[in-house]
Amino acid sequence: MKALRVGVLQKGTAVFALLACSVGCAPAIPASMPPPAATPARYEPPSAWLCRPDLPTDACHGNLDATEIRADGTRAPLPFFPATNPSADCFYVYPTVDMGLVPDNHVDFSDTSRMRDVARAQVARFGSACRIFAPLYRQATIGTYFRSLNEREHRLDFAFSDVLAAFRWYLAHVPADRPVVLIGHSQGADMIVRLLRESFDEDPAMRARLVVAMPIGWHVDVADGQRTGGTFTNLPLCATDDELGCVVAFRTFRDDGTARPWDGGPPVGRRTACVNPASVSNGPTRWLSGAVFPTHSAFTDATPGAEGVTTPYVVFPNFYGARCVDGGNRFRYLAVSEAPAQGDTRKSPIDFDALVWKTKLGLHLLDMQFAQGDLIALVARKVAAAAERASAHSVAINMGK
């Protein structure tokens, strides 16, 4: 059986250069490009967004149906049903898609197919729980990550100025108390971390609007034995399914005890955040309820084990196990492995023995795919909890009149 092809997915998440570097063949990085003009991005035009609720032909609309691959090998349709008048919004920032080795910011949006592909792979199906807002932004190229810290931060700060402008546009166009979910992966998660620091961590009113933040595949840390005290001062890691205003963060590696982060461990006195989306209370190994893999665009061949599937996605329920593991150097990570029950006839569409998964980036390319079913379910539960809290608050106010 063919191993899963990851070439186009790597193009979609743009970490191939980092993967190459992590196995010892650092690329020769060309000279930096001049900084782009500091003209503020405008987010009123529909063309500035990958996904926006008023844009019916955006990357998050269209056919989002899936086919479930069951333990006995049978297949079942999983029609996608968008949420009807959802009570919360999801603000999503996509990962690095510009594979250019020249340190730069991405400014050419004449072709947004890579951004659209990764948005459809990572966030479109969250539309069953929330309205989705996903801006385009002038992100840093992959080559930027090989430059000095000062240049890297300069270009990432520039990228964040777009994300912040988009979020401020969003705030100006929704009710002042509307709940919001923040989601990002890789560089997108970095942008979400910056947004949380800028607009939420020190602002009680904004923290009250936050349903949950999900900066996935990026470094988030907390003080030893605590849920805050590292990356954030007031935003805790989530400890229960219905807790609001908290953070779900993890980085995914194979469950073989060899995980080593490409950026090193956190400072002394802190530990890397790991919230298992399948078991938020961080209990023992749990099955991931629905690993979601696209069957087109992100993959060049049919997903192994799902040949002949005509839906845009396949779902493998209860096939992969996940647990938070304490590695060396204060590094915690989400360890994922094949965990088929007795009699399960499915074959993993992911070849865990492939070299690409054995680098210091681990299973980074698939952070959002393995856990997608659990993350969507978690958002849905927390959105419902936020709506219940708002309803109770409204009743209390009315009774007090």
For 364-391, write each residue's pLDDT tens digit: 999 999 999 999 999 999 999 999 998 7
CA distances from 30 to 12, 19, 101, 142, 147 (A): 22, 18, 7, 12, 10
Mean pLDDT of 190-213: 98
The pLDDT, as a whole number, for residue 12 is 38
CB-based burial of residue 172 (10 Å sphere; 0-12 exposed, 13-18 middle, 19+ buried)?
exposed
- CA angle at 114 for the pair 55 and 369, rounded to the nearest 5°: 90
CB-based burial of residue 68 (10 Å sphere; 0-12 exposed, 13-18 middle, 19+ buried)?
middle
Considering only residues 394 and 191, tell me which one the structure prediction assigns the higher pLDDT: 191
Q: How does pLDDT run across 315-349, given as a tens digit for each residue?
A: 999 999 999 999 888 999 999 999 999 999 998 99
- Average pLDDT for the chain: 88
Q: With 80 as the cut, is the pLDDT of residue 259 above it?
A: yes
The pLDDT, as a whole number, for residue 245 is 98
The pLDDT, as a whole number, for residue 22 is 35
The pLDDT, as a whole number, for residue 40 is 72
Q: With 50 as the cut, is the pLDDT of residue 150 above it?
A: yes
CB-based burial of residue 344 (10 Å sphere; 0-12 exposed, 13-18 middle, 19+ buried)?
middle
Q: How does pLDDT run across 3-54, given as a tens digit for each residue?
A: 443 433 434 343 433 333 433 344 555 666 666 766 778 999 999 999 999 9
Cα torsion angle, 221, 226, 232, 237, sign: positive
Mean pLDDT of 232-244: 97
pTM as predicted:
0.91
Considering only residues 73 and 221, tell me which one the structure prediction assigns the higher pLDDT: 221
